[in-house]
Structure 1
Amino acid sequence: MSGLSRYNVEVVDSTRYALGEGPYYDPRFKRLSWVDIIGQKVWFIKNGKKECIDAPQPVGAAIPLADSEGFALALKDGIYTYENGKLSLMADLKDVYKDYWRSNDAKADAKGRIWFGASVIDGSDHEAEGNLYLFDNGKIGIKVEGTKIANGMAWSFDKKKFFFSDSFEHAVFVFDYDEESGSINNRRELFHVDENISDGLTIDSEDNLWVAFWGGSRIEKRSGATGELLEVIPIPAKQVTSCCFGDEDMKTLYVTSAGTGLDGEYDGCLFRFRTDVKGVSPDYCVKI
């Protein structure tokens, strides 16, 4: 299925999601989760059973909570916790976002703080715009102002670098990162995107990035030190959106895609393939 590649790309779930995004493997519960932003659902597979959570708004991301099986949900008007079937507001975004913005990608850092991006609502006539924010100890601050589409995020193994994909800036950037304060500075372009659009990303234990390409039917493995292209892995879906490492050895890469407006057999499906490198284990959870 994967064409000229040393990886065997498999379809995990043949459901065609409108805008599959934000995969996350939680090793505590052996649970893979992802969202359908437009479909307003959080999906997860646990013990071989697929289940979903209905969200009242477009859901940009679902990040596992540190102290329960619940999630922090990045919705249009706020960051919410979801536990035991109940939504509770953590951070009100009504006065933070413009009324035509929604939450996009979001991740927690090692301190349990939430990094989240805003982007223009799908189908809007407005030009791409937004900001990258940090929710820390009850306060919301702007970390990168004037983003186009705030997307993939990752931290280096030594927690001294922060990686960030701004899709319509057509680049993946790297910043110096201070873990204690959460400050980022000295932004520079790690690599420029010449073809298609960089979307979500993850990082492996060797500090290499695995980047999804919207419109590109591929994952690219890139050096986190130089941005050099190391490998290209074809994915049989046009709009590849994000990826994460998972399974007990953290060597399986799970890949999401979007299917809206497309008619390819696997557009919008969830994929996986085995790699020869471990992802960062575990990914980080939200502390409340």
Structure 2
Amino acid sequence: MIERNTEISESEMKTKNLQKLKHKMPYKVEQLPTKLAYLGEGPHWDVETQSLYFIDIYNGRVHRYSYDENKEYTAKIENEDVVSFIVPVDGAKNKFAVGIGRRVGIIDWDGKSPKAKVERIAFEVETENEYKMNRFNDGKADPRGRLFAGTMRMERDVDIFDYRLGTLYNFGNNLVTKMRSSIGCSNGLTWNEKTGKMYYIDSVDLNVRELNYDFDKGQIIGDGSVTIDFSESGKRPNFVPDGMTIDCDGFLYVATFGVSKVFKIDPKKGEIVLSIEFPCEQITSCAFGGPNLDILYVTSAYMGKDKDKPAPAGATFQVTGLGAKGLPMAKVRL
């Protein structure tokens, strides 16, 4: 368990506006009793079951952490090695949309059994030979239940900065629509319905982009603008922005793969207002959950090019004491 009263250091300030930062915030980081994940990702808090669902991408596993039991259940998806996200299906008990390679499948899982099967494939993308090494990455439902999911080059043996073969897709009303193309690594997704905005991360761009979004039509309007740029004088820093969520007040929370932090960001000012620190480097994503939606759940990885990262890398964490609440996460409407 880590208890901190943290102030952003000068080395962490990514824009000139951050030079003025004086904000402090107490919080507590605790490791959950879950298995260490090679590449933990895609946390989704389900209000109905009071459970956190997440995945271990290259082990083909889906996980459920039960808040009431303080216990984890995990299942291997049969005959699948790459599973990139899990989102419950609206109105269908024990049904989940999961990213499997370049396909989106529907699984049936009771949340306890050690195995799960793909019942059917909802859709498949990028069947051409040049995309055979692509996979889905982050996937979420927008507030109206449309599934957004994007692709990237499998990163185990390549530098993701060498490729821009990814695409962001929208699946709604049984139609698959390309939303953005020429993406390096499709990553964090979240929405602010109050302001009509969508926020999106292509990790290769090293920024968070704010987009105008038509919630009735499920359409991105224009190219939007950069909310915050993490590059340092135009060069790559020692991390990439990864998964992302939003709180009730519109602040963004961005996981950083490489520097042990989740940044709380004020999108109106393009400023980091809090740096939440963890005892491992590869922080992958985050989501608000718990009975009051005031616990920030955070996933991580232990994957390494030469050797695995030491524990607690790959752990799943909870952060309390942030003084913030999230929004209920939407289920996929099929």
TM-score interval, smaller chain: over 0.9
The answer to whether the Cα contact below 8 Å between 2:102 and 2:151 also exists between their aligned partners in 1 is no
Pair 1:279 & 2:322 matched: no
Pair 1:148 & 2:178 matched: no
The answer to whether the Cα contact below 8 Å between 1:2 and 1:234 also exists between their aligned partners in 2 is no
Q: Secondary structure at the match of 2:204?
A: helix
- Within 2, Cα distance between the matches of 1:77 and 1:242? 20
Corresponding residue for 1:185? Answer: 221
Corresponding residue for 2:103? Answer: 78
Corresponding residue for 1:16? Answer: 36
The answer to whether the Cα contact below 8 Å between 2:34 and 2:65 also exists between their aligned partners in 1 is no
Corresponding residue for 2:154? Answer: 121
Q: Is the radius of gyration larger for structure 1 or structure 2?
A: 2
1:62 offset after TM fit, Å? Answer: 0.3
Deviations 1:114-143 (CA, angstroms, capped at 9, x unpaired): 100101013244733211111122221111
The answer to whether the Cα contact below 8 Å between 1:174 and 1:188 also exists between their aligned partners in 2 is yes
List, as ranges, runs of 4+ consecutive aligned residues in structure 1 with deviation greater than 6 Å. none
- TM-score by structure 2 length? 0.82
- Within 1, Cα distance between the matches of 2:5 and 2:195? 35
- Within 2, Cα distance between the matches of 1:50 and 1:59? 18
User: Superposed, which structure 2 residues align to 1:1-288 within 5 Å?
Assistant: 1=2, 3-5=4-6, 6-13=26-33, 15-46=35-66, 47-48=68-69, 49-55=71-77, 56-67=80-91, 68-84=93-109, 85-87=116-118, 88-93=120-125, 95=127, 98-125=131-158, 127-129=162-164, 130-158=166-194, 160-186=196-222, 187-194=224-231, 195=237, 196-261=239-304, 262-274=308-320, 275-280=322-327, 282-288=328-334
Q: Secondary structure at the match of 1:277?
A: coil
The answer to whether the Cα contact below 8 Å between 2:33 and 2:72 also exists between their aligned partners in 1 is no
Percent identity, aligned pairs only, is: 27
The answer to whether the Cα contact below 8 Å between 2:3 and 2:28 also exists between their aligned partners in 1 is yes
- Within 2, Cα distance between the matches of 1:24 and 1:36? 13
Shift of the 101–65 alpha-carbon distance from structure 1 to 2, 3 Å rule, reads same
Q: Secondary structure at the match of 1:111?
A: coil
Deviations 1:179-215 (CA, angstroms, capped at 9, x unpaired): 1111112321110013321000000000000110000
RMSD between superposed Cα atoms in Å: 1.7
- TM-score by structure 1 length? 0.94
Deviations 1:131-178 (CA, angstroms, capped at 9, x unpaired): 111112222111111111110000014161000011111111010000
User: What amino acid is the match of 1:278?
Assistant: K
- Within 1, Cα distance between the matches of 2:151 and 2:3? 33
- Within 2, Cα distance between the matches of 1:92 and 1:265? 36
1:263 offset after TM fit, Å? Answer: 3.2
The answer to whether the Cα contact below 8 Å between 2:171 and 2:177 also exists between their aligned partners in 1 is yes
1:4 offset after TM fit, Å? Answer: 4.8
1:277 offset after TM fit, Å? Answer: 1.0
Which structure has greater helix proportion?
Answer: 2
- Within 1, Cα distance between the matches of 2:195 and 2:218? 10
Q: Secondary structure at the match of 1:278?
A: coil
User: What amino acid is the match of 1:71?
Assistant: F
- Within 2, Cα distance between the matches of 1:72 and 1:39? 17
- Within 2, Cα distance between the matches of 1:141 and 1:107? 15
**Which stretches in structure 1 are left out of the alignment for 5+ residues?**
none
- Within 2, Cα distance between the matches of 1:82 and 1:14? 22
Q: Number of residues paired by the alignment?
A: 287
- Within 1, Cα distance between the matches of 2:195 and 2:215? 6
User: What amino acid is the match of 1:89?
Assistant: I
**Which stretches in structure 2 are left out of the alignment for 5+ residues?**
7-25, 110-115, 232-236
- Within 2, Cα distance between the matches of 1:2 and 1:238? 18
